Amino acid sequence: MTSEGNEIVQVSFNFALQIISYCEILEENKKFVIANQLLISGTSIGANVREAQNAESIVDFLHKMKVAAKEVEETEYWLLICNNAENYPSSPDLLTTLSSIRKLLAKIISSTKKKITNLSIPKSTNQ
């Protein structure tokens, strides 16, 4: 699979760039621990999606997309902390984008599971 024209690859890459910028703001405000955690999980989404593009099998592809989905959950956790903690800069746009990524990943995971199921069900023949 190529990443050109691949929506989840593009959206997750752009999100990683936004996370980097937001984490720089957190660091300017001396919020180093949260910035580091968020930087790792927020950029890991796209890294896993990108890695899935060269998966060894459809099962491997599914696994990598599920890992990306787990990173979405962790990233949301850190963003919610930032949005609810005193003296932290707010990031509602990041949460909105993250929600879009979650929906895309859910569709990809669901359709991939169906594809795997269809591949593993033997075709019946009428005799």
Residue 12: give the domain boundaries.
Answer: 7-117
The count of structural domains within the chain is 1
pLDDT at 122: 73
Match 């990233």 to its residue by tokens.
Answer: 75
Q: With 90 as the cut, is the pLDDT of residue 123 above it? A: no
User: Looking at the domain assignment, is residue 126 inside a domain?
Assistant: no
Q: With 80 as the cut, is the pLDDT of residue 4 above it? A: no
User: Looking at the domain assignment, is residue 86 inside a domain?
Assistant: yes
User: Looking at the domain assignment, is residue 122 inside a domain?
Assistant: no
User: Looking at the domain assignment, is residue 88 inside a domain?
Assistant: yes
User: Looking at the domain assignment, is residue 97 inside a domain?
Assistant: yes
pLDDT at 120: 83
CA 121 to each of CA 61, 88, 114, 118: distance values in angstroms, whole numbers, following the listed order: 19, 52, 11, 5
For residue range 87-120, list pLDDT tens digits in order. Answer: 999 999 999 999 999 999 999 999 999 999 998 8
Any idea what the CATH number is for the domain that residue 42 is in? 1.20.1440.60
User: Looking at the domain assignment, is residue 16 inside a domain?
Assistant: yes
User: Looking at the domain assignment, is residue 74 inside a domain?
Assistant: yes
User: Looking at the domain assignment, is residue 96 inside a domain?
Assistant: yes
Q: What is the pTM of this model?
A: 0.90
For residue range 34-57, list pLDDT tens digits in order. Answer: 999 999 999 999 999 999 999 999
For residue range 73-92, list pLDDT tens digits in order. Answer: 999 999 999 999 999 999 99
Report which of 45, 36, 101 is spatially closest to residue 70, judged by C-alpha positions. Answer: 45
How large is the C-alpha radius of gyration of the chain? 18
Residues in the chain: 127
